[in-house]
Structure formats: C-alpha cells, structure tokens
Structure 1
Amino acid sequence: MSTAVSHTWYMTQRHLTAVLRQPAFLVITLIQPVIWLFLFGALFRKVVELPGFGGGSYLDYLVPGVVVMSALSGSMWAGMSTLDEIERGTLNRFLTTPVRRGALINANVMQQAVSTAAQSVVIVLLGLVGGADYPGGAGGLALLVLAAVLLAVLMGAVSNTIGMLARQRESIIALNTFLLLPLTFMSSAFMKPALMPGWMRHAADFNPVNWALVMGRSALAGDPDWGMVLGRGGLLLAAGVLAVWMSGRTFRAYQRSV
C-alpha cells in the first residue's frame, strides 16, 4: 500500500510540476473564476429579490457555485493529459518501469484534486474580499473544498476513461463542450431549486454537480444539515470510486493493446 501511495504521489508531483511551468495557464485558471464570481455576481445580484429565493446576498449564494463550476470545468480535461502521454510515447515508456499501474492512470486525477483544492481556496478568499459571508466557518469551508475535490476526482476519472476509450482529442473536446453547460445549469449553481422548472429540479437530484453544491452549501449554513452533507458526500465518494475503477479497467485494456 505504501508503495502504491508513494508512486502515485511521485507521478502526481510530475503532473503538478508541468502545470507550474505554464504561468499563462495558471493566470487564466485564476482569472476565469474572478470573471464568474464578480460578473455573474453583479449581473444577477437582484435575483435575491425574487419571491422564493429567500433574500440575502447573491454573492454568498454564488461562491459555492463558482467553486464547484471551476472544479467541473478543470477536471473534465484530465483525459487530454492522458492522450498527450500516449501520443508522446511517455506512457508506454513508464509501462516498462516498476511504477504501479494505478499511479500512472490516477496521477493526473490527483493533480486535478490538488489544483482544485488550491483554486477553491482562492475563490473563497476572493468571495471574502468581495463581502461574502460564511456562517459555517472554517469547517464549512473545508467541506465545500472537499465537495469540489470529490467532484474533480469523479469527473477527472470519467475524462480519463473517455480518453482511453476514444483515443481522440476531438471526442473529449466534443463531449466536454456538450456536457459542461447542461451539468452546470441543471444544478443549483446559479439559481435556487425552488425557482427552477420542475423537470430541471428533478434532474438535478441525479446530477453529481448538484450533489457537490448541496454538500457545500449545507455545510456552510449557520445550522448545517449534516444529513445532506453526509448523504451527498457519500454519493460523490461512491461515484468517484466507481469512476476510478472504470478508468483502471480501460487502462488495463490499453496495456494489452500495446
């Protein structure tokens, strides 16, 4: 077990180093949430006055939405990293080493998890600067970040699976473009469920993005609903474990093909 963990962490560091060597990418990943947070926050700030929304500050409501949306949009591209490794021949060279196979396929998912945690903290701090209030305190914020990380692991593993099966960049790009907005808008990222169409509200119950939002917002409440926190967190964890298992199965199929 310790060998598997050390190998995974070593390969994760390799992916993190590659990200840190791209300053333009890092700047964009930080600027994009700022745009969502403050432009969306300014555009929809009067939504809180609608009957059924419940009042309060829209920025308070929006911060968890931006945290989760950032986790989703970043992790959906994990499969592109896998394809890069295949095309450069790097992955095949690693297959001749003693590195654990699980570490090879899961390292970029772990990199997404670490990146998501760091980005989530930045978004939370930006919200604080903008005047957002977090009644759940540090514990609630930690659970919001955990919800984002669990979603990143789930979607990163799904993206890896698609990459290993399709072996084409265009397939990942097309699928991500197709899924990103429906997954986001069929959730409570920007609007309270009470104001969503009935069919959309019911669809959100099966949407992992909404599970992360419900978990995070419930934890941030002044009186947290721990049933919601644990229930939605458990769903995300179970789905993430299943997705990681599926990506492992597709990786073993790839090994047999080379």
Structure 2
Amino acid sequence: MSSLAYLTGRRLKVFVQQPAFLLITLIQPAIWLFLFGNLFRRIVDLPGFGGGSYVEYLVPGIVVMTAVSSSMWSGMGVLEEIDRGTMNRFLTTPARRGAILEAVVVEQTLSVTIQAVIIVLLGLLAGAGYPLTGVLFLVVAAGLLGVVFSALSNIAGMLVRQRETIIGLNTLLLLPLTFLSSSFMAPSLMPPWIRRIAHGNPVNWALEACRTALAGDIDWPRTGTYGGALLALAVLLVWLSTRTFKAYQKSV
C-alpha cells in the first residue's frame, strides 16, 4: 500500500500543477450541457420519454461520457513514462510492480470523480435537481467507469506502445459507446437493436446503476445488478493491466 500511495501522490502532484488541463476537459461537457440540453429540451414531450427536465436527464449522460473520454487518455501517460525512461527506473526500485500501473488508474479515477462533481454542479446551475444519494451513486458509477477505461487504455499502451493507437481507440469508442446507451435518449424510444446492444455496454451499466437513485427512488436490484457488473469489469481490467505490465517487464 505504501508503494501505491507514493506513486499515486507523485501523479497527483503533476495533476495539481496543471489545473488548466482540468478546465480544458470541462469545456466540451459544458457545451453539451448548455447547448445540447437547451436545443433538445422539448424532447421530453415525446410520448414514452416520461416527461421531466431534459437537463436532468442529460447530466448523468454527460458525466459518463466525460469519464470515458478523460480516462481513455491514461495510456498516453504510460507511454510518456516509458519514453522518458521513468518506467524502467521504477523497475529498479523496491516499489510493488502492480502499484506502478494501479497508481495511474487511481489518479485517473480521482480526476474523473472531480469532473463528475463539477458537471453535476453545472447541471444544478442549469436548473437540474437531484437528491444527494443519487449524486453519490452517479459519482461512484463514473469512478468505476474511469477505472474500466483507464485500465483498458493502459493495456493498449503497454501492448502497442504507439500514441496513435490510444488516440484512435478513444475516437473509435467514445461516441459509439455514448450513443449506444441511454445517455441522451430514454430506452423506450430507442430502436430495439440499440436497446439490445445497450444491455452489454458498460457506459449504459453506469447509467442504469444510478438513474433510479437520481430520480429519488432507488431500485436496489437494478442498481446492484448493473453496479456489480461494472465493478466486476473494473476488477478484471485492472488485473489484466497488471498482467500486461508483467509482460512489459520481461521485454526490458
């Protein structure tokens, strides 16, 4: 644990020294919230949507979309550590090997959590309203999603070791995963084939795990099922990323 704490603290120092990066990552979510939210605010009047405020419906979708977008760049940091030789120097220290990549995941998860809180606050300014329990569920779901895609990005970075691959993976996955979920549209209004795909989409799992809590009436079986699936996937991908790192160790 001491190795993980030290390595995470090291990465957090870099994060704190670059506050502009956090602000830049929030520009696009703010655009989606205030422009997209107002442009399509009447969509809640469609039969079957369920009424309410579209901004309230949209905020969780923007939170999970931002979680995916931000955490998918995690592999770029790993590649930078490799290129600078920092990764190899860590291998000569007593630090636990798994903690080297785990620190990257923890730092990305904390970053995603901060972004989620800020987006919720922006949503409140835009007129949305949520119970505190619902907000906590959303932040936890976004954090788990950050773990999933940060670990996935790290795996890609360690295996391929090309920045273009990380960029391409982010571009390839972000919008399809977002639109093949209930981020912007109620499931009842989706085409059947999109609903079927959404059932296996981790982004949708994060949304389904917290939607009822955000509405003020927690559906525990639904929340437990989707939240448990997201947690299991996060654990699996973190384990795979540590296995990938062991393969890297053998190659140097």
| Superposition TM-score tier, normalisation by shorter sequence | over 0.9
After superposing on structure 2, the runs of 4+ consecutive aligned residues of structure 1 that deviate more than 4 Å are none
> What is the TM-score of this pair, normalised by structure 1?
0.95
For 2:94, the equivalent position in structure 1 comes to: 98
Structural RMSD (CA): 1.0
Q: 1:36-75 maps to which residues of 2 (within 5 A)?
A: 36-75=32-71
2:113 aligned residue: 117
The match for 2:193 among 187, 196, 199 is 199
| Structure 1 residue 37: Cα displacement | 1.1
Which residue in 2 is equivalent to 1:253?
A: 247
State whether structure 2 residue 85 is matched by structure 1 residue 89.
Answer: yes
Partner of 2:162: 168
Give CA deviations for 1:78-107 in whole Å, capped at 9, x if unaligned: 111100000000000011001111110111
Give the AA of the match of 2:16: L
Alpha-carbon distance in structure 2 between the residues aligned to 1:143 and 1:253: 36
Displacement of 1:175 in angstroms is 1.6
State the match for 2:73 in structure 1.
77
Identity of aligned residues (%): 62
Does the 8 A contact of 2:134 with 2:216 survive in 1? no
Cα contact 2:177–2:201 (8 A) shared by 1:
yes
With normalisation by structure 2, the TM-score equals: 0.97
Query: Number of residues paired by the alignment?
Result: 252
After TM superposition, give the deviation of residue 218 of structure 1 in Å. 2.1
Which letter does structure 2 place at the counterpart of 1:79? G
Equivalent residue letter for 2:32: W
Q: Secondary structure at the residue paired with 2:56?
A: helix
Q: Give the AA of the match of 1:40.
A: F
The amino acid of 2:148's aligned partner reads L
Aligned counterparts of 1:53 and 1:153: Cα–Cα separation in 2: 31
CA shift for structure 1 position 51: 1.1
Unaligned runs of 5+ in 2: none
Aligned-partner Cα distance in 1 for 2:93–2:61: 42
Task: Describe the SS at the equivalent of 2:48.
Answer: coil
Please state how far the C-alpha of 1:222 moved relative to its aligned partner: 2.1
Match 1:236 to one of 230, 236, 244: 230
Structure 2 residue 148 is matched with structure 1 residue 181: no
> CA shift at 1:61, angstroms?
0.3
Q: Is the 8 A contact 1:20 1:26 kept in 2?
A: no
Name the residue aligned to 1:10. Answer: 6
Which residue type is aligned with residue 84 of structure 1? Answer: E
Shift of residue 16, structure 1, vs aligned partner = 1.6
